[in-house]
Amino acid sequence: MADSLNIEELKRLAPPAELRRAPVVEGKPSLGALTDKLSEFAEGKTPRWWWILFIPAAFAATVIFPTCLFYQVFTGVGVWGNNHPVMWGLDIVNFIWWVGVAHAGTLISALLFLTKQHWRTTIGRMAEAMTVFSVMMAGLYPAIHVGRAWFDWFMFPIPNSNGNWPQFKSPLMWDVFAVNTYLTVSTLFWFMGMIPDFAVFRDRATTRVRKTIFTALAMGWTGSARQWHNYEKAYVVLCGLCTLLVFTVSSIVGLDFCASQIAGWHATIFPLYFVIGAVFCGFGMMLVILVPLRKWCSLEKVITMSHMDKVAKLALVAGLIIDYIYLQEFFIAWYSGDTYERWVFGHRLFGHTYLYLGWTLIGINVCVTQLLWFKKIRSSLAALFIIGVLINIGMWSERFVIVVGSLYQEFLPANWGKYMPTIWDVGLYIGTLGAFFMLYLLFVKFLPMIAIAEVKGVMPEADPHHPLGGAQKGDHQ
Amino acid sequence: MSEKVYGLMAEFDSPAAILHAAEKVRDAGYRRWDAFTPFPIHGMDQVMKLGNSLVGWVALAGGAFMFLNVVGLIWFANAFDYPLIVGGKPMFSVPMTFVPAYIMLIMGGALGALIGMLGLNQLPRLHHPLLDKKRFELVSRDKFILLIGAQDEKFCATETKSFLESLGGTHVEIVEDVE
């Protein structure tokens, strides 16, 4: 083996075409050309499509969002549709939905790193950004849902003159820790991953302003072997911890539900159910973000069709697990023989008020997802984008059905009621969507949206034992 | 403002080239040297004999510190300072502390990993002598630079220069440290 290393030999030994792994980056660019390509968008002129998307997003984020927020905080939770018996309305639905969107980002970035999937380098950074921004949106909801947002500090264990402490036995209290930790850790992870790329931007900077900003952000990173040595270790540790968070944060959100006595919520499957639903929803959002950006930022050769195919397959896997859980839920509701459980689950699909949402859920999460089995669908970007949007709608309906569907007709018919979101509920949701996309567009424009150093690191040119990496005949392997 | 020599840098074109050069620099008995690359190079750790990074231990310490502190905090808050009976449950029991303590373990571990990484790498730093070199900007692009520090016992401006050139290094330059 030792003296047989040359390109012809490698070609002879390579597996047949259909078994070969797709290259991470297509077109065999040199390392320099790849660096140019990946920094191009952040350094070039702002294109028109960016402004067309940014202006409405910024309007929603800076006008609609604060208007709805301040009106609610100054007036009270009563401006929302929440009222007895449905005390958890769109605020909690959207909270769970946003946490869900976050989860696929961490999963793609951290879990696929631990399993050494090289293709994740190209979309990992964008996934992490999705996580950070959507956790920000998620964290907002419980903070204002408490009604008196100025007392939010009661939730933190701070010594105070009242001499009281939070009650740590409640899953709602665990939520405070979970969401704050998720935000902090995913931001740290995102930031640490960007340090070598800030150095790339620093070294490429042509204006004084860019040079100053990226010099500060890169913190003096030089890329020495000793720095990489510690950096790689820290990265593995952070990936491991982030993977734990994927399974913890939504589990705790699930515990908020299953620790209660409400029919439809009081089930041990909830933590798992919420984790998988979160991941599924996040893959949908990932498709929605990746499909347009790869085209508009001309990254087709970096975020290749093979990567899109893999994201779609992961969405399918998550979708199938979710379908299995639906089956279990309905089966257990029937098998338990509990009248209230049977009533709640029957009314999800055959009730009168929210049955259309129940069928949206079945129609999308169970039926539309199956389209991803077909290679033809997975290789059509338009189809993937539409399926991505639909998955988000489907998962939003699921959250609504779980939260409101169990509350509006509870044990005593005297307590039955209806829930309709008001304009302030909807406005706040539009505001958070706007804020999310505004932050995302700013990220895409100003920060390294693809992990430049990581992508270069998985190229054959970066492997000292590969002919393209300069390995000579006779090199020890 | 005085200028003194910080070291000699030599540029290489491929990961394999710098890896081989690094092996030879090590075998020649140099001790204070480093390789600057756009991405981590497989095998460089072994060549430089870096061993296991301490970052993992810093993260473990951070996680353990947070975990134990949160368990302690919960005992202090719910069993000692402000005991309150909720649902007839005991004031303090280990299982009930697990979830918040575990979550904060993750927080502590993550902070430990980041702070450990920055601390061990002596970051953030405002300046590094290499960042003054024009050619060094290429390190974040596609070049690989090997630096032998002037502090090294074997360092000699002329001999080390010709040694680096004999290894195939190009653009061998003196790096000055401005004080």
Chain B partners within 8 Å of A229 (Cβ): 40, 45, 48, 50, 53
pLDDT of residue B96: 84
Q: Tell me the sheet residues that pair with B145.
A: B11, B36
* Closest Cβ opposite residue A185 in set B55, B74, B106: B106
Mutation target for B interface from A202, A212, A237, A475: give the one with most B CBs within 10 A: A237
Residue A160 located in a structural domain: no
pLDDT of residue B1: 47
Contact B128 A229 (CB under 8 A): no
DSSP string of A235-273?
HHHHHHHHHHHHHHHHHHHHHHHHTS--TTT--TTHHHH
pLDDT at A188 over 70: yes
Chain B partners within 8 Å of A199 (Cβ): 140
pLDDT band at A475 (very low <50, low <70, confident <90, very high): low
Contact A222 B139 (CB under 8 A): yes
Q: Who wins on pLDDT, A206 or B1?
A: A206
Residue A52 located in a structural domain: yes
* Closest Cβ opposite residue A233 in set B34, B56, B102: B56
Do residues A238 and A181 touch, judged by C-beta distance below 8 A? no
Residue A61 located in a structural domain: yes
Chain A partners within 8 Å of B130 (Cβ): 222
pLDDT of residue A473: 64
How far from A471 is each of A6, A21, A397, A461, B168, CA to CA, in Å? Answer: 9, 21, 55, 10, 14
Residue A196 located in a structural domain: yes
Give how many domains chain A has, as a whole number: 1
pLDDT of residue A52: 96
Residue A120 located in a structural domain: yes
How far from A48 is each of A52, A53, A54, A334, A346, CA to CA, in Å? Answer: 6, 9, 10, 55, 50
Separation of CA A259 from chain center? 26
Do residues B45 and A225 touch, judged by C-beta distance below 8 A? yes
Predicted confidence pLDDT, tens digits, chain B (179 residues): 467 889 999 999 999 999 999 999 999 989 999 999 999 998 899 999 888 999 999 999 999 999 999 999 999 998 998 888 888 888 898 888 999 999 999 999 999 999 999 999 998 988 889 988 889 999 999 999 999 999 888 888 888 999 999 998 889 988 988 76
Residue A428 located in a structural domain: yes
Q: Which of A372, A359, A270, A364 is nearest to A317 (CA)?
A: A372
pLDDT at A268 over 50: yes
Scored b (16 or more CB within 10 A) or e, A67-98 reads ebbeebeeeebebbbbeebbebbbbbbbbbbb
Contact B140 A177 (CB under 8 A): no
Distance between the two ends of chain B, CA-based, in angstroms? 6
Peptide bond into B95 cis (omega under 30): no
Chain A partners within 8 Å of B35 (Cβ): 224-225
Do residues A319 and A135 touch, judged by C-beta distance below 8 A? no
- Identify the H or E element spanning A406: helix A381-407
Radius of gyration, alpha carbons of chain B: 25
Q: Which pTM was predicted? A: 0.93
**Domain assignment of residue A268, given as a range:** 7-153+168-469
Which residue type sits at A61? A
pLDDT at A468 over 90: no
Using DSSP's 3-state secondary structure scheme, residue A226 falls into helix
pLDDT at A3 over 60: no
Which tens digits make up the pLDDT trace of A8-58?
A: 777 777 777 777 788 888 888 999 999 999 999 999 999 999 999 999 999
pLDDT at A295 over 90: yes
Which tens digits make up the pLDDT trace of A211-236?
A: 999 999 999 999 999 999 999 999 99
Contact A223 B37 (CB under 8 A): yes
Please count the residues of chain B: 179
Question: What is the spatial distance between Cα A365 and Cα A387, in angstroms, rounded to a whole number?
Answer: 10
pLDDT band at A238 (very low <50, low <70, confident <90, very high): very high
Contact A177 B130 (CB under 8 A): no
pLDDT at A441 over 90: yes
pLDDT of residue A377: 95
pLDDT at A410 over 90: no
How far from A386 is each of A321, A368, A391, A446, CA to CA, in Å? Answer: 21, 10, 9, 28
Q: Which of A188, A184, A206, A210 is nearest to A198 (CA)?
A: A210
Q: Who wins on pLDDT, B93 or A387?
A: A387
Chain B partners within 8 Å of A184 (Cβ): 107, 110-111
Distance between the two ends of chain A, CA-based, in angstroms? 8
- Span A248-262, average pLDDT: 89
Record the tokens describing residue B148, joined without a space.
Answer: 């032998």
How far from A338 is each of A248, A344, A352, A455, A471, CA to CA, in Å? Answer: 30, 10, 21, 54, 69
The one-character DSSP state at A161 is T
A233 to chain B, minimum CA–CA distance in Å? 6
Residue A253 located in a structural domain: yes
pLDDT of residue A477: 46
Residue A41 located in a structural domain: yes
Q: Which of A242, A312, A222, A323 is nearest to A276 (CA)?
A: A323
Record the tokens describing residue A399, joined without a space.
Answer: 């959250």
Sheet holding B33-36, edge to edge: B33-36, B144-149, B3-12, B170-178
Listed range (A168-172, A189-193, A239-243) with the worst mean pLDDT: A168-172
pLDDT at A2 over 80: no
pLDDT of residue A474: 58
pLDDT of residue A1: 42
Mutation target for B interface from A116, A155, A167, A169: give the one with most B CBs within 10 A: A169
Scored b (16 or more CB within 10 A) or e, A267-278 reads beebbbbbbbbb
Please count the residues of chain A: 477
Contact A469 B118 (CB under 8 A): no
pLDDT at A438 over 50: yes
pLDDT of residue A371: 96
Rounded percentage of chain A residues whose pLDDT exceeds 90: 68
Which tens digits make up the pLDDT trace of A123-140?
A: 999 999 999 999 999 999
